[in-house]
Amino acid sequence: MKRSLLVCFALAALASNAAFASLELAKAKNCMACHAVATKVVGPAYKDVAAKYAGQKDAEDKLTQKVLKGGSGAWGAVPMPANAQVNEAEARTLVKWVLQQK
């Protein structure tokens, strides 16, 4: 019993470190200049993005490309510019994190 609790705590710590790391990546890549986790800034809140794309099988690929290439029209008139600071692996990490927000 004690061992299983210890394993649960260890897994929870790893998960929270991954979430923290992704938030730090978002800050480092200047994503937070236009987005926030819970509130709309220039772009939508990450929790709203997660809600909009919940259950869509192609969401991760679609949003990864949007981070890399930019896009417009999904959230209004303000376009999202391409993020030249982000490589594909970083974009995918960020998108996975965004899709986990609630």
> For 38-96, how does the pLDDT look when each residue is reduced to its tens digit (9 = 90+)?
999 999 999 999 999 999 999 999 999 999 999 999 999 999 999 999 999 999 999 99
Q: Give the CATH number of domain 2-99; options: 1.10.3860.10, 3.30.1330.30, 1.10.760.10, 1.10.3720.10.
A: 1.10.760.10
Parse the chain into domains and list their residue ranges. Answer: 2-99
Confidence (pTM):
0.79
Residue 40's DSSP bridge partners are: 35
